[in-house]
Amino acid sequence: MSWEPPAVGTTATWSRTFTADDVEAFARLSGDRNPLHFDPAFASRTRAGRLVVQGGLTTGLFNALVAMKLPGPGSVFLHQEWDYPAPVYIGDEVTAEAEVIESRADKPITRLRCVAHRSDGTEVLRGECLVYTMQLDPA
C-alpha cells in the first residue's frame, strides 16, 4: 500500500450529541469527576452556568474523524494544539471539522486545521494537529 497524501483543502466532519451517559463513561475511563461535569449547583455558580462536557470528549471527535475519515484508517496523532473558546453542554450536538492544510508526499504525515461548533454555531474548539498514517507492511 503506497501513501497517497490527501489534497490541501480536503475537509471532513464528525458529529455527536453528548449525553450525561457520555460524561459518566468518560469519568469512569479518565477519573475526571470535576464538579463542573456532575454537580448542577456548583456549575450554576460558575461562568459556564450549567453542567459542561469534559474537553476530552470534544477532542475525541477528532480522534474518530482522523481515524475513520481524514486521513483515515491507521492514522494517529503526532501533535495536537487545542483552544476551547466556549463550553459544550450536556445535550449539545457538536460537529468537528478538519481541513488539510499541509500533506507530505515523502512521508505519511498530514497537518490539519480543526474547528468544532455546537449546533447553534458557537465555536467550542479550534486548533491544529499533525497526523501520521501507518502504512501496511507488504504481504
**Upper half-sphere CA count for residue 51 (Cβ side, 13 Å):** 18
Is 43 contained in some domain? no
Is 39 contained in some domain? no
Is 6 contained in some domain? no
Summarize the confidence of residues 2-25 as an average pLDDT.
96
Whole-prediction pTM: 0.92
Which residue type is seen at 93? Answer: E
Q: How many distinct structural domains can be found in the chain? A: 1
Is 105 contained in some domain? yes
Is 120 contained in some domain? yes
- Per the prediction, the chain carries an average pLDDT of 96
Task: Please report, rounded to a whole number, the percentage of residues in the chain having pLDDT higher than 70.
Answer: 99
Residue 108: give the domain boundaries: 11-17+59-133
Is 33 contained in some domain? no
Is 34 contained in some domain? no
Summarize the confidence of residues 96-121 as an average pLDDT.
97
